[in-house]
Amino acid sequence: MYQDFPFNIRDIAGLLNLHVRHKNTVSLDVDCPFCGDRKGKMNLNLKKNVFKCNRCGECGGMLALYGKIYGVDNQTACKEIKDALGLSLIHISEPTRH
């Protein structure tokens, strides 16, 4: 899942300034931006790039995390994340003329 993206859920957590309460090699426990939990009940799975709050039940993929907070669809979320991380710069070369 999400193998073709040049970013991951850890990058999105940084963009969203989520407060990390606990971290290990496969997940982060953060404060939930949806229900306001301040005890780190939201889990970000770093291997699967998904999230779930064990208090309010909000869950989804990494694009949905960003999208639900900013009220945008996944396509817009992807574009905005790339822009914020400086990953949207595309170098288009001029065709060579002979």
- The answer on pLDDT for 76 being more than 80 is yes
Check residue 4 and give its pLDDT.
81
What backbone phi and psi angles, to 5 degrees, belong to 20?
A: -85, 125
Which one has a higher pLDDT value, 13 or 88?
13
Adjacent-strand bridge partners of 60? 51
Name every residue whose Cβ is closer than 8 Å to that of residue 34 and which is 6 or more positions away in sequence: 42, 53, 56, 58, 68
Give pLDDT tens digits for 10-34: 999 999 999 999 999 999 999 999 9
Check residue 95 and give its pLDDT.
56
Give pLDDT tens digits for 33-66: 999 999 999 999 999 999 999 999 999 999 999 9
DSSP secondary structure, 39-91, as one string: S--EEEETTTTEEEETTT--EEEHHHHHHHHHT--HHHHHHHHHHHHT-----
